[in-house]
A and B are shown apart, each in its own frame.
Chain A
Amino acid sequence: MSQAKLTKFFTKS
């Protein structure tokens, strides 16, 4: 398994 980054789920606002 690899560590996902938050930016994969949350968009920059």
Chain B
Amino acid sequence: MFEAKLIQGNLIKKIMEGLKDLVTEANFDLSPGGVSLQAMDSSHVALVALMLRGDAFENYRCDRPRSIGMNLVNLSKVLKCAGNDDTMTLKADDTQNNITLVFESQAEDKYAEVQMELMDIDSEHLGIPDNTYDAIVKMPSAQFSQIVKDLSSIGDTVTVSVTKDGITFSTSGDVGTAHITCKQNTSMEKEADHTTVNLEHPVTLTFALRYFVTFAKSTSLSHQMSISLSKELPVMVEYAMGDMGHIRFYLAPKIDD
């Protein structure tokens, strides 16, 4: 038996916003420690890794580790039945091939129960090495979102360059070229507004911009996000959800032919 209740049920809605444009179906790995997911996009260029700790839930029960496959388009439809302030309970009986989602209003005056079929999904699990990155930049997630959206109307690829002076996003297209630099800035009162650059070695990498736009759909999960870069390695874009868990995106760079 698996059962987990989230007081802030809309957390799952927010997570799905970031997932559904990247992968259409995925296995959720349920274990006593929590819920995790790893899935690649169909072109095997980007990967999403989600982790939600068991203690992020109000009551969490997972009797045995199990993978449950879900169609994320269908899950998004089901989640429309949940109000933004509703609690959300997920229930899956080990002997059944379905999951039950229960949405309850905070005032306990509305109760919705939806059952959704599970599916068998063949998925490749990749081992992601624990990298020491050349550069880690933390910045407000809204700012990152705005930058990648603005640049995506100018070009298709983005060159990300980190030096001790800051992080620069550059693109070019028919319209012209654009460079946006964010310098380290810790003068604001709120830490979530800070931009910090942790640099071991200067690094420059080029990526397909549209993936960054997709990753930025997770902006509502966290005020801060981080970009971790190493020479000739996939970039890691992370949105940490406090001590509840995280969603991480990996994107393979463009390389010289």
Provide the residues of chain A in CB contact with B255, threshold 8 Å. Answer: 1-2, 4
In contact, B127 and A13 (Cβ under 8 angstroms): yes
Question: How many Å from the CB of B16 to the closest CB on chain A?
Answer: 22
- A4 contact from B47, B124, B127, B254, Cβ within 8 A: B254
In contact, A1 and B252 (Cβ under 8 angstroms): no
* A2 to B96 alpha-carbon distance, docked (Å): 45
Interface size class of A (residues with CB under 8 A): 10 to 19
Considering the complex, give the chain B residue whose CB is closest to the CB of A1: B254
Question: How many Å from the CB of A6 to the closest CB on chain B?
Answer: 5
Considering the complex, give the chain B residue whose CB is closest to the CB of A8: B252
Q: Does B178 sit within 8 A of A, measured CB to CB?
A: no
Considering the complex, give the chain B residue whose CB is closest to the CB of A6: B252
- A6 contact from B47, B129, B256, B257, Cβ within 8 A: B47
- B45 contact from A1, A6, A11, Cβ within 8 A: A6
The residue among B125, B234, B250, B256 with the most chain A CB atoms within 10 A of its own CB is B234
* A9 to B235 alpha-carbon distance, docked (Å): 11
Q: Does B64 sit within 8 A of A, measured CB to CB?
A: no
Interface SS majority for chain B: loop
From known contacts A12-B124, A13-B126, infer whether A6 and B44 are also in contact, taking CB-CB under 8 Å.
Answer: yes
In contact, B127 and A6 (Cβ under 8 angstroms): no
Question: How many Å from the CB of A11 to the closest CB on chain B?
Answer: 5
In contact, A12 and B254 (Cβ under 8 angstroms): no
In contact, A10 and B126 (Cβ under 8 angstroms): yes
Q: Does B52 sit within 8 A of A, measured CB to CB?
A: no
Provide the residues of chain A in CB contact with B127, threshold 8 Å. Answer: 10-13
Query: Besides A2-B254, A6-B45, 10 other CB < 8 A contacts?
Result: A1-B157, A4-B254, A6-B40, A6-B126, A6-B250, A9-B233, A9-B234, A10-B234, A12-B126, A13-B126
> Taking beta carbons and an 8 Å cutoff, which residues of B are in contact with A?
40, 43-47, 124-129, 157, 206, 208, 233-234, 250, 252-257
> Taking beta carbons and an 8 Å cutoff, which residues of A are in contact with B?
1-13
